[in-house]
Structure 1
Amino acid sequence: MVEKRLGALPVAAEFLRRLDVAGIVDGLCPGGASAHLTHGQVIEAMVANRLTSPAPLVRVGDWARTWAVEEVFGIEPDLLNDDRLARALDAIAPKLEQIAGTVGARAIAEFGFDVSRFHWDITSMSVYGAYPEEDQDEQYPVIKYGHPKDRRVDLKQVQAGLAVSADGGIPVHTRVFGGGAAEVSQVVGAMKDLRVMAGEQKFLMVADSKLVSYSNIAALLQADVPFIAPVPAAQVKDEVYAALDLEQAAVVDWVPDRDAGKDPDRREVYRVLEDVHTLAGPRKRDPVLTVRRILVHSTGNAAGQQAARAKRLAKAAEEMDKLARAAGGRHYKTSDKVAARAGVIAAKRRVASCLRWHVEQDESGSPSLSWHFDQEVLDAEAQVDGWYALITPLTAEQAAPQDVLIQYKGQGAVERRYHDFKSPRCSCSTITASPP
């Protein structure tokens, strides 16, 4: 009696066949055929391995022996040794982007994905180890320090960009970048790749705030590729939001999936207004770019910002009261030391805009501290809670303000695919067969 795991191997094999992964790899990387396996067959087996048993890429032959790889893919487990895998990986490395793009285009044609809207984002993956740059091939993405999403600035990283369809969040395009690559500079390359993949069909590109730079916007407008992206906070002053009348904003007829089961009065509510956004170029002769700006208010965002501010204020108040009691004591004998500590508290708790304090000295030179929060500043900050802005070149006829918001909200699809990418899961059923 021979027992092997089957799991999702038949599903993976069917999708790999319909995507013609082996054929695409062998077409772009010829010359790798041996008496036993082509590069394409090896890559298909490795894809199945990643999908069903995402452990470190060693002992793939052992995996193939315990799983029904021979029965499903017709590959003898002993052929999937480390040397054969390495030769296949070396062969596809120079053609990786072409392979990914061709497979993505094949997926669009084979499964009929709606490619009228793509969602693009970049993530980072921190790595442990030295990874000296002089030991790495500069023709490929270099592992180095950058600005990691997980804030592990002590670790080097590599980055990956992913585009998914709005229709089901299907990954259709990916690119790998070095750890030090600036995210803002990768948007135009992604746009060009997606244009090739989409063919004659026009598409909408949705991305995060890294899309919003003068050079990116100019390139997208010149290429006639519409987009939606949030404006970086620094580009919209608080005074703009403070001047808005929430009562004049239109309520968006849309409910987030997470609120679908809640009572209507507990659901997050979105409201929108509209004006224009301008971007000036780095040179005086650069033309000023003008696009639509959708001003969005979210009750969920507002509640979150208010709660975060209250927490910061409470922490700051606790520490300032403690400092006031300690002023003139062993650790804070001078006014300078008291003032220095108050400045540290203001910066650490991010309340410098509203925290006011005064240090006095009595006749003996002993300092005392009084402090309060500036209520006018707090009221002004509360006025802008919940507001953010989206920009797009889409006309009002092409998309009403609420439609722009709803299409942008699909950006969560690419984030979910990154979650799948970084935290793969599998289910392992088994098959039992008797030897002949």
Structure 2
Amino acid sequence: MVEKRLGALPVAAEFLRRLDVAGIVDEVCPGGASSHLTHGQVIEALVANRLTSPAPLVRVGDWARTWAVEEVFGITPDLLNDDRLARALDAIAPKLEVIAGTVGARAISEFGIDVSRLHWDMTSMSVHGAFPAEDQDERYPLIACNGHPKDRRLDLKQVQAGIAVSANGGIPVYSRVFDGAAAEVSQVVGAMKDLRAMAGTHEFLMVADSKLVSYSNITALLQAGVEFTAPVPAAQIKDDVYAALDPEQAEPVDWVPGRDEGKPEAERETYRVLEDLHTLTGRRKSDPLLTVRRILVHSTAVAAGQQAARAKRLAKATEDLDKLTAAAGGRHYKTREKIVARIGVVTAKRRVTSCLRWQITQDEHGTPGLARHFDQNVLKAEAAVDGWYALITSVPAQKAGPAQVLIHYKGQGAVERRYHDFKGPLAVAPVFVQHNRRVAALIQVICLALLVFCLIERQVRRALGPEQTTAGLYPDNRRVRPTGRMILDLLDTDITQTRWPQT
């Protein structure tokens, strides 16, 4: 008898069958059958690998021998060697967008996913290796340095991925791989066109972050008739606009964040909204003005966070300035110039330049000193804008009032949670692959795994009924909403292992 792990393999195989991943890959990328294994079969095995035993892409054959891959997928483990995996990744690399779009459309129709609202965002992943520019294939996403990597690994080069998830279940129906140095603001129009083609005759609302808000992007979205909602970059609205607003005159929003549902009403975050118009101008004088709805949002939690951050900054600045005041005229700060230089360091580090008022004094002996205070009028003006931010949208007022626009935008957290799954349970990083075309193909494979991961979560929650909760997942037996990770972990317990007769 040979013991093999079964885990979530049968579940993964069933979802892959319903998505027809192997059939789609083999139709788009024919060939590979001479090695007794089609490209589609290899890609399905890689997806199953990410779902059951995510790790850097090495020794997949050993995984297949330990797990019941042959019994569930009909694939001989020895065929999943590094060379065969590389050839499959090379084969799908030129067709990644077609594969992603076709599988996404299949998921929409097969599982009845509502795509009337889609949330779009991008993230970056670190790639281990030198990847000199001259050795990369320019036909595929390039591995490059990113000035603002999401994982803060400034020592590594990056590749980026963008996904669009449905508001219905947070299903990543669309994914695409981008250059490591690609600007997010420049990818919105391409994503919009792809999503529009995928949605077909269905209208959809595109929700994104502030990278969507540029004159060229808004122009393209309005011309295409695609409705959108996104936050306005802070630099585009002056504080005077918010300072003139009164939260008490704004409309209360009947919505409670999930994290606050169990709290007393007085402790919950509350939102209020107002509406006016926002105008965007192009770079050229001949560019027409674009006017869209603007929703001004006040959040008590955001206000409290900003107040706490300001108090912390002022406390730290006060501590630093007290030390400087005591040391002024001493060994380290004998001259005016040294005191001024230190003030510049403190104000920049603690971000109190706008409110700090200071002057250098001098006693009868010519010893310099420091007198300073915080301008209360400036601090009061800063406090007046606490909690406010703005959204813009092209959704007509008769379809969604200001409160509903905010509720739509609040669904943006779904895409952030999927990136957490992308980099957590599916272990997208670290990436150890030799060529940039294979890196792009591997990232797309992991996006397919994310799709299956989310569909499993959605189907289980739907089967649980309206509450979507169950007991038994934690030792204290409390009822929770099962996540994809919980479900896969539960399927991988000892009771799901089986024995197969050796042949």
TM-score, normalised to structure 2, is 0.85
What are the residue-to-residue correspondences of 1:65-76 with 2, within 5 Å? 65-76=65-76
Q: Distance in 1 between matches of 2:49 and 2:390?
A: 43
Aligned-CA RMSD value: 1.1
What corresponds to 1:431 in structure 2? 498
Give the aligned partner of residue 242 of structure 1. Answer: 243
In structure 1, give the amino acid aligned to 2:377: E
How far the C-alpha of 1:78 sits from its partner, in A, is 0.8
Alpha carbons 1:128, 1:155 under 8 Å: kept: yes
Query: In structure 2, what is the equivalent of residue 132 of structure 1?
Result: 132
Matched, 1:151 2:152: yes
**Partner of residue 25, structure 1:** 25
How many angstroms apart in 2 are the aligned matches of 1:378 and 1:10?
61
Alignment of 1:23-422 (within 5 A): 23-34=23-34, 36-146=36-146, 147-422=148-423
Task: Classify the secondary structure of the residue corresponding to 1:34.
Answer: helix
Structure 1 outlier segments of 4+, above 4 Å = none
Per-residue deviation, residues 50-91 of structure 1 (Å, max 9, x unmatched): 111101111111100110101100111111111111111100
Task: Tell me which amino acid in the other structure corresponds to 2:348.
Answer: A
Residue identity matched to 1:21: V
1:398-432 per-residue CA deviation (whole Å, 9 max, x = no partner) reads 10100000000000000010000000155223112
Q: Residues 35 and 334 (structure 1 numbering): CA distance in 2 closer, same or farther, change over 3 Å?
A: closer
C-alpha displacement of 1:101: 0.7
Determine the C-alpha separation between the residues in 2 that align with 1:12 and 1:357.
Answer: 66
Task: For residue 152 of structure 1, report the CA deviation from its aligned partner.
Answer: 3.4
Query: Hey, what's the Cα distance between the residues in 2 that align with 1:334 and 1:435?
Result: 86
- Deviation string 1:24-74 (CA, Å, 9 cap, x unpaired) is 000000122225111101110011001111011111111001101011001
Is contact 1:335–1:361 with CA below 8 Å preserved after alignment?
Answer: no
The one-letter code matched in structure 2 to 1:431 is T
Q: Deviations over 1:121-178 (max 9, x none)?
A: 0001123432211111111111111221233334321111010011000011111111
8 Å CA contact 1:127–1:155 kept in 2: the answer is yes
Other-structure match for 2:438: none
Write the distance in 1 (CA, Å) between the matches of 2:159 and 2:31: 30
AA in 2 matched with 1:306: Q
Bigger RCO of structures 1 and 2 (CA < 8 A, at least 6 apart)? 2
AA aligned opposite 1:235:
Q
SS in 1 for 2:33: coil
Q: Distance in 1 between matches of 2:11 and 2:189?
A: 35
Contact 1:312–1:350 (Cα < 8 Å) also in 2: yes
User: CA offsets, 1:187-228, max 9 Å, x none?
Assistant: 000000001100011100000000000000000000000000
The amino acid across from 2:145 in the alignment is Y
Distance 2:215 2:383 in 1: 31
Q: Deviations over 1:94-122 (max 9, x none)?
A: 00111011000000010010010100000
* Pairwise CA distance, 1:396: 1.1
Residue identity in the other structure for 2:137: D
Provide the rounded CA distance (Å) in 2 between the counterparts of 1:368 and 1:172. 64
Quick one: which amino acid aligns to residue 218 of structure 1?
A: T
User: In structure 2, how many angstroms separate the alpha carbons of the residues matched to 1:43 and 1:130?
Assistant: 26
- Tell me the distance in 1 between the aligned counterparts of 2:197 and 2:230: 22
Paired residue type of 1:418 = Y
> Partner amino acid for 2:498?
I
Secondary structure (helix, strand or coil) at the match of 2:115 reads coil
Aligned length: 436
Contact kept, 8 Å, 1:119 with 1:163, in 2: the verdict is yes
Alpha-carbon contact 1:214-1:280 (below 8 Å) kept: yes
Relative to structure 2, which stretch is displaced further, 404-413 or 50-59? 50-59
Letter in 2 for 1:248: Q
For 2:84 and 2:152, the matched residues in 1 are separated by: 37
Aligned residue identity for 1:114 = D
CA distance in 1, matches of 2:292, 2:35: 59
Q: State the identity %.
A: 78
- Cα distance in 2 for partners of 1:202, 1:299 equals 34
Deviates more, 1:363-372 or 1:177-186: 363-372
Q: CA deviation at 1:435?
A: 3.8
How far apart are the structure 1 equivalents of 2:158 and 2:87?
25
- Pairwise CA distance, 1:378: 0.4
Residues of 2 paired with 1:50 and 1:347: CA distance? 45
What's the CA shift for 1:368? 0.2
Match of 1:31, SS state, is coil
Taking structure 1 as the reference length, what is the TM-score of the superposition?
A: 0.98
Distance across 2 between alignment mates of 1:222 and 1:256: 34
1:205, 1:405 → 2: CA distance? Answer: 13
Provide the C-alpha distance between the structure 1 equivalents of 2:119 and 2:400, rounded to a whole number of angstroms.
Answer: 17
Q: Partners in 1 of 2:424 and 2:172 — Cα distance?
A: 16
CA distance in 2, matches of 1:129, 1:180: 16
Match in the other structure for 2:459: none
Q: 1:128 to 1:352 in 2, by over 3 A?
A: farther
Q: Which runs of 5+ in 2 are unaligned?
A: 426-484
2:174 maps to amino acid: H
Unmatched tracts of structure 1, length 5 or more: none
Tell me how far apart the structure 2 counterparts of residues 77 and 151 of structure 1 sit (CA, whole Å): 37
